[in-house]
Structure 1
Amino acid sequence: MAYRRFLAIGLVIWGLVILALGQQPSITPESLRTWMTYLASDELAGRATFSEGLGLAGAYIADQLKVAGVRPGGDHGTYFQRVEVLGIKSTNRSSVTIEVNGQKRTFNDGEGVTFPRNVGGKRTFTVNEVEFAGYGLNLSPAHNDYKGLDVKRKAVVWLGSRGPRGTDERRGARLLNSRAAFAVEEMGAAAVIGPPLGNGGQRGGRGGVPGVDFTTAARLDSPLPANITANDDFLEFLFSGSEIQYEALKAKAQQQEDLPRFTLKGVTLTFNLDADYQVVNTRYTRNVVGIVEGTDGRLKDTYVAFGAHYDHLGYLQGALPAGQTDRIYNGADDDGSGTTALIALARAFAQGPETKRSLIFVWHAGEEIGLHGSKYFTDHPTVPLEKIVAQLNMDMIGRNHDNLASESNTVYLVGSDRISSELHQILLEANAGLAKPMTLNYQLNEPTDPERVYYRSDHYSYAAKGIPIIFFTTFLHPDYHRVTDSVDKIEFEKLAHIAQLVYETGHRVADLDHEPVHDFKGPHGTDVRKSLGPDSRRRCRRSSRTTRRSSPAAASTAGDGAHRFNRILGIDRYRRLAFPYGHSAERRFCERASKPGRHSRR
């Protein structure tokens, strides 16, 4: 069987490395290549979340850990943590009523408009101001539809399936699903209305059934966001009182011409949001967890966490697109690169110099269908969550962004300074200590980053619990989420180099005699707590009391304290609705905000 062959080869290579280097094993391109060749092979059929292929991948990772002396950190003394994922069908009775110069029409879900799925709740509100924001894209500096536009507490309407001619169309297409998030998160919009988005090919191997969404119990009671898609009939009536009619705007968008921005005068929108759901099945997958114990009597019960996701997209079902012969999404870079780097890190720490703190390594499942593995782990940690002092996440670290040769020594860093600027400084020192320091790119760390990278990988589950994080990535390339993401395109020297940077950073944090300071400074060094006003601590305490005495569903709509916490992390209301990570995170932040000395360096 190929699995046993690759396991044997991997063990031989690792043994030779240890013999050659004594007690200081290195992270080598050769070992990374061996592990990835199996993990991204056709035998694993794309490692879909609920598939046999992912089970084989997990067993392979566990075998590597066992041989290296990494002890199990999962359930019941094993390397595995069972992850529960719920399959739900939702019933949506939501509607929106448009009033244009005294004329009213009501559109129900599925009849002219489509409301979000896999969330529940009820609320009604009215928006008296509606802004047309062109394509609704922020592709700064080349193009920004929100520049100079005030959409706070207003409804935002946008059109177009790409961006205007002359912008990066591939990037614009990737941002389709981010437009609503950006409008709400960064601009404070109350509602977002866009045209229907086309569907891509159907991926298989996930074990799903038609009409069923996957979610976790904590997400079911999140309030329903006012983010809708609308058909031509809806949009024609919405623009019926405007100087520029919908058909003219639609034609311009189809030709990728510049779109005007303007206020829709005489328009009032009333949203009646009403949805519930039924759990139709429960599926299970597995995180893989290993632990290397620390040596310091005081610090060894605290942890530095390292993570990557080992699932991918499975395989393409049905007829293949014209000219395509491959149907398996092997996921070499996404996230075979992070997966193999994490194996190398676990083995290096197990065989190398000891650390004061303990180290926990988590291969998360279910990232591709909604960060489910990391969400489950942070809700059901196998070690006390409050004992995790930092989390270092690797996702897509084996290529150059957009295949640019100029990126050969570049790694993108996200989130390193959002919760702990000291963690950020440790990273800089670790990089400076490398024989060849890497070029660190912070473009994706900007709060206004339209790609929303801070929210798109497993580190976010930890950050939302108040744990300092660093996200390492080399970002996107033309093979992202395509069957062409294959092993032969991986830059293994670069992958080993990034893994070494993560190793050095983690080692320094593990030997730190105090928890990294939680100062909640943003990317530009400004303490964002100052913007909350002098009574922020009092409000925070009140919010915590409200949370304790409320049900989860009611507490999630309490809003004030949760929104304040989200602003601190750079997460705001829309993401809170889409990914409600519970109120333990809010309480934890409130604790730190009201007692800053508790986590200060002494």
Structure 2
Amino acid sequence: MPAITAADVRSRIYIIADDSMLGRQSGTEGNFKMTEYLAREAARLGLEPAGDNGTYFQVIPMVMRRPDPSSRLVAGSDTLKLFQDFAPIRPTSTARLGTSINVAGAAAVFGGRAGDTLLILGSSLVRGRLIVFDAPLGSNGQPSATYNTAAGTEAMKYPEAAGIAIASLDLQTSPEGLQRPGSGISEVTLATPPPGGILITTAAARKLLGSDLSALKPGATGRIINARISFIESAVRAAARNVVAARRGTDPALRNQYVAVGAHSDHQGIATKPVDHDSLRAFNRIMRPEGQQTRLTTPTPEQWKLILALRDSLRKTRPPRMDSIFNGADDDGSGSTALLEIAELFASHARPRRSVLFVWHTAEESGLLGSMYFTDHPTVPREAIVAQVNMDMVGRGRKEDTPTGGPRNLQAIGMRRLSTELGDVVDSVNRARTVPWEIDLSFDTPGHSQNRYCRSDHQNYARQGIPIVYFSRGYHQDYHVVTDEAEYIDFDALSRVAGFAHDVVAALANRNDPPRVNRPRPNPLAPCRQ
């Protein structure tokens, strides 16, 4: 079978990550254009439509949400400031929160450490109140900026609470992101909606409870709270759509089973103001080696010298260039490109025994909303999906991109969490390669501080008990930055990732038995935990 080449992926990724795609944010013209391109390609390849009503599309009921600027939070006589002291948490597939908090004259209550599953306060103590939590702990035992799992856990424990407040706003690497509009799934009105959530600073927590958190025991009550915190919802500017296509299998006994393979089509749209591309790259090279993943700090005089030297070296090759579009070449233009190449290889060669389902999810950047909607409302029987292979950020991974990088480094996450047999298939396919990948499982460690298992679309398949493997080549200085451009992609490595993922899917589609689920299945409504 002919290999996927560097030229193949280069030609596609320059289309997907072009400025004309306007950053591909879900619910906007840019992502609509992207999904039109994907559907045209699927049709050209002769893939079977597998979306709604005989189309390649599954439209998701998306709305745009932005924090209501009139939101108020008052503790005793102290009025806290929106975005300075507190910020609303947008609901996601992991943090299944409500969209409002309303408290009238009830004391705040201390809930302990966010995410502590061993502690449960009595319902009479929390009913109708704002529960304040200390920041969750990461795997290193230190307070963590990662809050979605903890927020989802506490909302599930305390459905009768008015709201969940987590003191980790100080720890956020990009707190400005909490201010921007984002996508959400239009909610069905519930008789008892889940509590809403906010992030707060440690100073705000002190005002709410009247004391340092370290001096309090869980269940301690604080000051009288009055709160009205919500989002403003508006219609999306363009339909938000998953793109779904299939290559039908040949074996009469297996063709109604599916191996799903996916990536996400969306990115972050357009920045509120342009920045100088090369100055930002020089700064991030020194100060934010994993882009927005790295907490922003003030450079020392020595670091400023290095930053300015890098910027000046770039100035010798080109003049300043302003940039405001998040093109997302790696995140996840690389995965979408790889998926198109995999689909083309399946479409142009002999059909496998099982069917293969190709899904380009939208709204991953908004909290895995596209994959959540697809797995909650699948266009094929959910029980017929025997495995899912996910690709997210598979276009970089050089040594200069990430400390763990190199020409053969490939991160794999989740491949033995539900099915050890799926992991065996991945390893077997890798051993058969002329130049095997060095499979890096370090980011799959339980409790890993980056929580990668819970942060891409495979997670919504896993929560339904479907075995998954997530391939990535890691974070880099351009992660969630306007500098994530096609010019920095490692096209040769991307083509090899696509070829390897194809071979894993083919092996799963052609084996006699699906990978057996021989590890505990999660509760599909519970927050994801790495």
**Do the two structures share a fold, i.e. TM-score over 0.5?**
yes
Report the CA distance between 1:284 and its aligned residue.
2.3
1:67 to 44, 58, 78: 44
- For 1:117 and 1:67, how far apart are their aligned partners in 2? 38
Corresponding residue number in structure 1 for 2:471: 472
1:352 aligned to 2:349?
yes
- For 1:377 and 1:267, how far apart are their aligned partners in 2? 39
Larger displacement relative to structure 2 (438-447 or 209-218): 209-218
Corresponding residue number in structure 2 for 1:511: 510
1:235 aligned to 2:206?
yes
Report the CA distance between 1:232 and its aligned residue.
3.0
One-letter amino acid matched to 2:253: R
One-letter amino acid matched to 1:472: F
3-state DSSP class of the match of 1:312? Answer: coil
Normalising to structure 1: TM-score of the pair? 0.64
Encode CA deviations 1:543-574: one digit per residue, 9 max, x unaligned: xxxxxxxxxxxxxxxxxxxxx726xxxx955x
1:84 aligned to 2:61?
yes
C-alpha distance 180-50 of structure 1, shift in aligned 2 (>3 A): closer
1:391 aligned to 2:388?
yes
Corresponding residue number in structure 1 for 2:167: 194
How do residues 183-332 of structure 1 correspond to structure 2 at under 5 angstroms? 193-194=166-167, 196-197=169-170, 214-217=184-187, 223-224=194-195, 228-230=199-201, 232=203, 234-235=205-206, 238=209, 240=211, 264=216, 268-269=220-221, 280-281=234-235, 284-318=239-273, 320=275, 325-332=322-329
RCO higher in 1 or 2 (8 Å CA, sep ≥ 6)?
2
One-letter amino acid matched to 1:430: V
1:178 aligned to 2:146?
yes
C-alpha distance 55-159 of structure 1, shift in aligned 2 (>3 A): closer
C-alpha distance 222-462 of structure 1, shift in aligned 2 (>3 A): farther
Report the CA distance between 1:380 and its aligned residue.
2.2
CA contact (8 A) 2:136 2:147 kept: no
1:432 aligned to 2:384?
no
Report the CA distance between 1:464 and its aligned residue.
1.5
One-letter amino acid matched to 1:286: R
Encode CA deviations 1:398-421: one digit per residue, 9 max, x unaligned: 111634485221111111111111
C-alpha distance 326-385 of structure 1, shift in aligned 2 (>3 A): same
Corresponding residue number in structure 1 for 2:491: 492
One-letter amino acid matched to 1:51: T
One-letter amino acid matched to 2:454: Y
CA contact (8 A) 1:48 1:311 kept: yes
C-alpha distance 269-387 of structure 1, shift in aligned 2 (>3 A): same
C-alpha distance 44-406 of structure 1, shift in aligned 2 (>3 A): closer
C-alpha distance 152-225 of structure 1, shift in aligned 2 (>3 A): farther
C-alpha distance 442-234 of structure 1, shift in aligned 2 (>3 A): closer
- For 1:26 and 1:219, how far apart are their aligned partners in 2? 50
One-letter amino acid matched to 1:215: I
Report the CA distance between 1:81 and its aligned residue.
2.1
- For 1:94 and 1:518, how far apart are their aligned partners in 2? 48
3-state DSSP class of the match of 2:323? Answer: coil
One-letter amino acid matched to 2:449: P
1:46 aligned to 2:23?
yes
Encode CA deviations 1:479-530: one digit per residue, 9 max, x unaligned: 101111111111111111111221111111101222211111xxxxxxx58x
Report the CA distance between 1:366 and its aligned residue.
1.2
CA contact (8 A) 1:158 1:193 kept: yes
One-letter amino acid matched to 1:503: H
CA contact (8 A) 1:27 1:499 kept: yes
C-alpha distance 281-391 of structure 1, shift in aligned 2 (>3 A): same
C-alpha distance 302-152 of structure 1, shift in aligned 2 (>3 A): same
Larger displacement relative to structure 2 (25-34 or 63-72): 63-72
- For 1:75 and 1:394, how far apart are their aligned partners in 2? 24
One-letter amino acid matched to 1:194: A
Flag structure 1 segments of 5+ consecutive residues without an equivalent: 1-23, 98-104, 137-145, 204-208, 247-261, 521-527, 530-563, 577-602
C-alpha distance 386-184 of structure 1, shift in aligned 2 (>3 A): closer
3-state DSSP class of the match of 2:359? Answer: strand
- For 2:501 and 2:169, how far apart are their aligned partners in 1? 41
- For 1:487 and 1:399, how far apart are their aligned partners in 2? 10
C-alpha distance 70-25 of structure 1, shift in aligned 2 (>3 A): farther
C-alpha distance 150-338 of structure 1, shift in aligned 2 (>3 A): closer
- For 2:253 and 2:74, how far apart are their aligned partners in 1? 58
One-letter amino acid matched to 1:223: P
- For 1:293 and 1:53, how far apart are their aligned partners in 2? 30
Encode CA deviations 1:384-410: one digit per residue, 9 max, x unaligned: 111111110100001116344852211
CA contact (8 A) 2:16 2:34 kept: yes
C-alpha distance 150-176 of structure 1, shift in aligned 2 (>3 A): closer
1:380 aligned to 2:377?
yes
2:363 to 360, 366, 372: 366
Percentage of identical aligned residues: 31
CA contact (8 A) 1:96 1:108 kept: yes
> Number of matched residues?
450
C-alpha distance 441-225 of structure 1, shift in aligned 2 (>3 A): farther
3-state DSSP class of the match of 1:424? Answer: helix
- For 2:147 and 2:233, how far apart are their aligned partners in 1? 30
3-state DSSP class of the match of 2:386? Answer: strand
One-letter amino acid matched to 1:314: G
Larger displacement relative to structure 2 (65-74 or 317-326): 317-326
Report the CA distance between 1:46 and its aligned residue.
1.4
CA contact (8 A) 2:110 2:217 kept: no
3-state DSSP class of the match of 1:411? Answer: strand
Report the CA distance between 1:113 and its aligned residue.
5.5
- For 2:485 and 2:86, how far apart are their aligned partners in 1? 39
CA contact (8 A) 1:114 1:230 kept: no
- For 1:223 and 1:41, how far apart are their aligned partners in 2? 40
C-alpha distance 405-455 of structure 1, shift in aligned 2 (>3 A): closer
One-letter amino acid matched to 2:60: V
Larger displacement relative to structure 2 (282-291 or 453-462): 282-291
Could you say which structure has the higher helix fraction? 1
Structure with greater Cα Rg: 1
1:414 aligned to 2:420?
no
Flag structure 2 segments of 5+ consecutive residues without an equivalent: 92-96, 122-131, 159-163, 281-321
3-state DSSP class of the match of 2:325? Answer: coil
Larger displacement relative to structure 2 (344-353 or 50-59): 50-59
3-state DSSP class of the match of 2:4? Answer: coil
- For 1:286 and 1:113, how far apart are their aligned partners in 2? 32
CA contact (8 A) 1:392 1:470 kept: yes
Corresponding residue number in structure 1 for 2:14: 37
C-alpha distance 94-416 of structure 1, shift in aligned 2 (>3 A): farther
Report the CA distance between 1:182 and its aligned residue.
5.8
CA contact (8 A) 1:239 1:264 kept: no
C-alpha distance 78-515 of structure 1, shift in aligned 2 (>3 A): same
- For 1:285 and 1:237, how far apart are their aligned partners in 2? 39
CA contact (8 A) 1:330 1:483 kept: yes
Report the CA distance between 1:77 and its aligned residue.
2.5
- For 1:419 and 1:318, how far apart are their aligned partners in 2? 44
Report the CA distance between 1:353 and its aligned residue.
3.0
- For 1:477 and 1:370, how far apart are their aligned partners in 2? 21
How do residues 494-573 of structure 1 correspond to structure 2 at under 5 angstroms? 494-520=493-519, 565=523, 573=527
C-alpha distance 234-295 of structure 1, shift in aligned 2 (>3 A): closer
C-alpha distance 228-299 of structure 1, shift in aligned 2 (>3 A): same
Report the CA distance between 1:214 and its aligned residue.
2.2
